[in-house]
Structure 1
Amino acid sequence: MVRVLMCGSIASSGGVSTHTRNLIENLSVEGNEILLYNYYTNDAYSKNTNIRKIYRRTFGLFFHILANRKRYEIIHDQTSGGIFSFVSSITASIASKIVDKKLIVTFHHSRTEEFVTKYKPLFNFVLKNTDTMILVSNRQKEFISRTFPKYSDKLVVIPNGYDSTIFFPRNTNECRSVLKIPGNKKVIFNISNLIDIKGHKYLIEAIGNVAKTRSDFYCIIAGKGYLFETLEQQIKDSKLEDYIKLVGWIPDNDIPIYINTSDFFVLPSLGEGNPIVMFEAIGCGKPFIGTKVGGIPEIIISEDYGLLCEPASSEELERTIISALDKNWDSFKIREYAKSFTWRNIAKTTKSVYEQSP
């Protein structure tokens, strides 16, 4: 049994929250004792203001590490960008030395190179004082190793994962019936925050071009974000209301149903770390159509599991979508491949890092 102080955000949404929550659950199933310090407060009387968020990642975290030093052996900080999230790792680096405990940091970031370059001295400080830094892609590891060669032996890659009890193949027609989605067309599904880096405008442009030559498909885009009205207007201006539907935010319980209505999942991102939704899609036996960014090419290693194109190119995305529409996919083969990325397996690998860390 390993006793771990897990430091991270457990909020209603977000990739880091999903990662942290599932890792805790599966580490606990393996018989480990996990003590959570949540950067996101669920206290109805304490709003998650910026000041409170910073406090919980600095003084709050520092005092918690010291006050509970007898309850754990390892500190594991789940950190991301920007700097106001990463500051938790700085705090943990200082506090871990005072309490003389091992420190593991998992660094999640869709633009690692940009962040590390901008905050190189701070990143160096954390890396120097961390026993092991877990990264979610080899691309991250290669860049950080080049930047900080003397700490390269501290870097370990463990990808994200998915919950196989929730994301598994379901009857497509039944799912479409539940959501009242046309059953006579191929369905393309996307869910992500409606923000620039997710590349939705290129997806809409690509769909518009595909619609010029065929009408046998329907695209559903789910998610919330500051671009909702802009994307809605782009769809109207392009006269694509019959081909694309923005459904807004959907509950977590509905995500596997939406994925299972689709013929394939598409994520046209300009930058990613290792998107959890990719694993959830292939866990449902659905091919993943995406861009060659972050750790995506390290997972979609065969055209049996999906197709990839360059980011920020509606023309390339158009050709890739057409190929995906015309391809006969083997759902069973995709699902079998996905099984190695269940959160249970990710937790086992993480536990081995705890045991091997100096």
Structure 2
Amino acid sequence: MCGSVASSGGVSTHTRKLIENLSVEDSEILLYNYYTNEDNAKTTNIEKVYRRTFGLFFEILSNKKKYEIIHDQTSGGIFSFISSITASIASKIAGRKLIVTFHYSNTEEFVKKYKPFFNFVLKNVDTMILVSNKQKDIISKTFPQYSNKLVVIPNGYDSAFFFPRDTDECRAMLGVPVNKKVIFNISNLIDIKGHKYLIEAIGNIAKTRSDIYCIIAGKGYLLETLEQQIKDFKLEDYIKLVGWIPDDEIPIYINTSDFFVLPSLGEGNPIVMFEAIGCGKPFIGTKVGGVPEIIASEDYGLLCEPASSEALEKTIMLALNKNWDTFKIKEYAESFTWKNIAKTTKSIYGQTL
């Protein structure tokens, strides 16, 4: 398995959890980490590029007797995707099967911009795993000759970590008001996550009801901008930015909420969506990436168009007034545990061999 295993990030979580659960499935996994350690801040860009090129090339060739399949976890932009180019060349020299999992929210833009590189990888790969049918449709239309190589396996969640807990107890642990409708969001504080639309929506809702309380977790370059937006709208009593939170607190925060909101402008197949429904919480989001494929019923959540605070406001209001079935949401989420995702991935290994 070749991938980025760092302290945070969707691809890192996917890679780490897949390895853990494949190991349980009696598959021996050798990891080649594109980071020199799990703290990505301590790995320089030069080291990252080297490990995706020359480092990966030598790793594949020098250890070819130890494995049967090369599985590369890659994404966009080009400095991540370059690992798949390296693996495509090295796999042919080593005489080993190659599987690539491509994670990226802006698949159409990436494929169009780097069409020759993507074509090269598709030509040489044995199987390409995608995390949504939307990705598959985009790539199939551009490269119909390789459509038989494409399979879809969504992201997943850790059911031993993300499960329904007592809401009042979780709120007491974190000092969250017990008499409020709590909305939770966790994501990097960057433009594509759409936080400004969430704050605008909460601002409009707060004009008519005072029982809402929105918690936003995460770090990023927009922190000061969002803090100022909250002050400008006078929403300090309605929205709280809690910054980065450790992994073991994420399920507690999710379980304090009445529902989870992700107002992204673009996504692939967000892992946090699976974590939210794994806790039995409805997912309120936007119709981007593979999200509509998972939230395919209003029993599990509600979706709206991206980049619209008005649409998000209406959707949140519907969610606030809806009676949600926690058990039904949790039961649906079970098919997306990492254990089940690993079983499906292992079957792809068998088919590829």
TM over 0.5: yes
**2:179 maps to what in 1?**
184
Structure 2 contact 218–245 (Cα < 8 Å) conserved: yes
CA positional deviation for 1:216: 1.0
Secondary structure of the residue aligned to 1:33 is coil
Q: 1:156 to 1:321 in 2, by over 3 A?
A: same
Cα deviations by residue, 1:164-207 (Å, 9 ceiling, x for unpaired): 00000000000000000000001000000000000000000000
Partners of 2:121 and 2:199 in 1: CA distance = 41
- Report the residue type matching 1:292 in the other structure: K
Secondary structure of the residue aligned to 1:77 is strand
**1:337 maps to what in 2?**
332
Secondary structure of the residue aligned to 2:285 is strand
- Report the residue type matching 1:277 in the other structure: V
**1:103 counterpart (87, 98, 101):** 98
- Report the residue type matching 1:117 in the other structure: K
**2:257 maps to what in 1?**
262
CA positional deviation for 1:43: 8.2
**1:9 maps to what in 2?**
4
Q: 1:137 to 1:43 in 2, by over 3 A?
A: closer
Partners of 2:242 and 2:123 in 1: CA distance = 45
Q: Does 1:146 align with 2:135?
A: no
Q: Does 1:83 align with 2:100?
A: no
Partners of 2:345 and 2:210 in 1: CA distance = 46
**1:305 counterpart (290, 300, 308):** 300
**1:3 maps to what in 2?**
none
Structure 2 contact 100–127 (Cα < 8 Å) conserved: yes
TM-score normalised by L of structure 1: 0.97
**1:247 maps to what in 2?**
242
Secondary structure of the residue aligned to 1:121 is helix
Partners of 1:12 and 1:52 in 2: CA distance = 17
Aligned pairs (5 A) from 1:316-335: 316-335=311-330
Which of structure 1's runs of 4+ aligned residues deviate more than 3 A? none
Structure 2 contact 6–38 (Cα < 8 Å) conserved: no
Note the residue ranges of structure 1 that are not aligned, 5 or more in a row.
1-5
**2:220 maps to what in 1?**
225
CA positional deviation for 1:47: 3.6
Aligned pairs (5 A) from 1:99-248: 99-248=94-243
**2:65 maps to what in 1?**
70
Partners of 1:236 and 1:124 in 2: CA distance = 49
Aligned pairs (5 A) from 1:21-32: 21-32=16-27
TM-score normalised by L of structure 2: 0.99
Partners of 1:83 and 1:34 in 2: CA distance = 26
CA positional deviation for 1:42: 1.4
Partners of 2:131 and 2:105 in 1: CA distance = 10
Partners of 2:326 and 2:154 in 1: CA distance = 22
**1:36 maps to what in 2?**
31
Structure 2 contact 5–38 (Cα < 8 Å) conserved: no
Partners of 1:203 and 1:47 in 2: CA distance = 33
Note the residue ranges of structure 2 that are not aligned, 5 or more in a row.
none
- Report the residue type matching 2:136 in the other structure: K
Partners of 1:220 and 1:129 in 2: CA distance = 46
Cα deviations by residue, 1:204-246 (Å, 9 ceiling, x for unpaired): 0000011111111100000000001100110001100000000
- Report the residue type matching 1:253 in the other structure: D
Cα deviations by residue, 1:298-318 (Å, 9 ceiling, x for unpaired): 000100000000000000000
